[in-house]
């Protein structure tokens, strides 16, 4: 079955430690995204990638890093520079298309990783 897989589901991090969240998709989508969601809040964009070996900062990129070495994979590293990393992290992907073509492309989401700093 096609879909997006995030792992782990729950992650605990010690202060000052870097952690990497995994996101893999087999939908053959070009575009991938990382969002952060805090309790009672909407989704805030951390990073997104439109194509392999390219990615762009979103609205809250500080303290995070990503890589896109393969089309299927878009891991997110939460570094020690991120001062308040406890949140629900969501990875998504969508078809990447040229301007004006098939604008109704939805983003498919993984099941999320809940990160807690202990």
Min separation Cβ 16 and other proteins, Å: 28
Min separation Cβ 78 and other proteins, Å: 18
Residue 116 interacting with other proteins (CB under 8 A): no
- Contact region with other proteins (CB under 8 A), list: 15-23, 61-69, 71-79, 89-97: 89-97
Tell me the residue ranges of DSSP E strands in 1-118: 4-7, 10-13, 19-25, 31-37, 43-51, 54-57, 64-66, 76-78, 87-94, 108-109, 113-117
Residue 105 interacting with other proteins (CB under 8 A): yes
Closest to other proteins by CB, 10 vs 15, is 10
Please give the angle made by the CA atoms of 112, 69 and 96, to the nearest 5 degrees.
70
Closest to other proteins by CB, 33 vs 64, is 33
Nearest alpha carbon to residue 23 among 41, 50, 3? 3
Whole-angstrom Cα distance, residue 8 to residue 96? Answer: 26
Min separation Cβ 77 and other proteins, Å: 21
Among 20, 28, 111, 116, contact with other proteins (rule: CB under 8 A): 111
Cα-only R_g, the chain: 14
Residue 33 interacting with other proteins (CB under 8 A): yes
Min separation Cβ 15 and other proteins, Å: 25
């Amino acid at each position: 079955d096609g879909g997006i897989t995030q792992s782990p589901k729950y992650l605990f991090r010690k202060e000052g430690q870097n952690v990497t969240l995994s996101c893999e998709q087999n939908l053959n989508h070009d575009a991938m995204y990382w969002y952060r969601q805090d309790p009672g809040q909407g989704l805030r964009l951390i990073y997104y990638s439109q194509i392999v070996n390219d990615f762009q900062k979103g609205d809250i990129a500080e303290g995070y890093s990503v890589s896109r070495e393969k089309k299927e994979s878009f891991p997110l590293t939460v570094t020690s520079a991120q001062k308040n990393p406890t949140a629900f992290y969501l990875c998504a992907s969508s078809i990447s298309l040229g301007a004006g073509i098939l604008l109704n492309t939805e983003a498919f989401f993984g099941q999320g990783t809940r990160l807690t700093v202990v």
